[in-house]
Amino acid sequence: MSEPVLVVGGAGYIGSHVARALAEAGHEVAVLDDFSTGHRDATQGHAVVECALEDEAALDAAFARLRPQAVVHLAGRIEVGESVRDPGLYFASIAANSNRLLDAACRHGTRRFVFSSTAAVYAPGDAPLPENAPLGPASPYGQAKAMVEAMLPHFARAHGLAWVALRYFNAAGAHPDGSLGERHDPETHLIPLALRAAQGRTGGLTLNGDDWPTRDGTCVRDFIHVCDLADAHRLALDYLVHGGESRALNLGTGHGHTVREVLDAVARVTGLPVPVTVGPRRAGDSPVLVADPAAARELLGWRPRFADLDTIVAHARAFERGRA
């Protein structure tokens, strides 16, 4: 069953993959983005509304014109370290703007809402983390996402909005055809930074600490291919269309890799070593974040297609080489 879907933040890294997956599944897709960090060419022919979520009048007009039955919300700032330095920016970008978006969606009769959340909502704990693990964000970024998750049940009770919050672990990779991938400015994600360091395009990679309580002293993360994330958004929308209960779901592979293991994968794929220096720990980081994805597998029928780390790195490398 297809329906009109508004992908908010659909010009960004994950949003562009989500918009494409929804369109390929037969949905009528429109992208809403302010293009502050997204890219116009990443919208790939979808209908586009240029609109900042702070502009309530423009947002209201967009909903009045498009009348989406569903919203997939991926907009907002994404850097943990920046959120520690400037928390107000993150509470505005994520929490306040999400409140405006939810208000507009409910005023105009939107029935379903899929929210891009994060594993950063969890307190540090034993891996893998299930959805009922204690929440305790270590950063304003994670706290702002948790605030939006806390809003959703209230909008559901007041307006009948069905919702799913998808708690991503570490998004990585690029579309296998090379047309979409990471283009953050500045880039902060590990795999593209490691690829650029291996290619000699930067002065090397700085490890954010090598004294964490992990098997090699570097942080452990669950890397999930961006196309698998996109598939999960499509399946989450189908789940809500068919009457699924509103809830949060983890998206990850269930397997963690240390930063050094990722650098080893980059070296295997490229045939080049990654030059590194060791810096201090980054404020707001957790030593280990690995998903228990059992609920998404059971409720959505979701299975990652690209769980192998070398495959994720190879797809990211192909996209990087296409831009060089």
Got the DSSP string for 110-177? --EEEEEEEGGGBPS-SSSBPTTSPB--SSHHHHHHHHHHHHHHHHHHHH--EEEEEEE-EEE---TT
**pTM of this prediction?**
0.95
CATH number of the domain at 106, please: 3.40.50.720
**Co-location of 164 and 263 in the same domain:** no
Domain count, the chain: 2
Task: Write the CATH number for 198.
Answer: 3.90.25.10
CB 169 within 8 A of CB 222: yes
**Residue whose tokens read 């959340």:** 117
Looking at the fold, whether 231 and 216 belong to one and the same domain comes out as no
What's the CA gap between 230 and 116, in Å, rounded? 11
- Residues 231, 306: one domain? no
The answer to whether 3 and 241 are in contact (CB under 8 A) is yes
pLDDT per residue, tens digit, the chain (324 aa), is: 567 999 999 999 999 999 999 999 999 999 999 999 999 999 988 999 999 999 999 999 999 999 999 999 999 999 988 999 999 999 999 999 999 999 999 999 999 999 999 999 999 888 899 999 999 998 999 999 999 999 999 999 999 999 999 999 999 999 999 999 999 888 889 999 999 999 988 888 999 999 999 999 999 999 999 999 999 999 999 999 999 999 999 999 999 999 999 999 999 999 999 999 999 998 878 889 899 999 999 999 999 999 999 999 999 999 988 776
Residues 204 and 284 occupy one common structural domain: yes
Inside any domain, residue 56: yes
Rounded to whole angstroms, how far apart are CA atoms 299 and 235? Answer: 9
- DSSP string for residues in 182-202: ---SS---HHHHHHHHHTTSS
Distances (CA, A) of 119 to 96, 136, 213: 20, 10, 19
65 and 114 both lie in a single domain: yes
Give the domain range for residue 71. Answer: 4-171+224-251
- 228 within 8 A of 304, measured Cβ to Cβ: yes
**Whether residue 111 is found in the same domain as residue 206:** no
Please list the active-site residues. 141
Asked if the structure places residue 78 within a domain, the reply is yes
Contacts of 314 (CB under 8 A, 6+ apart): 269
| CA 120 – CA 270 distance, rounded (Å) | 30
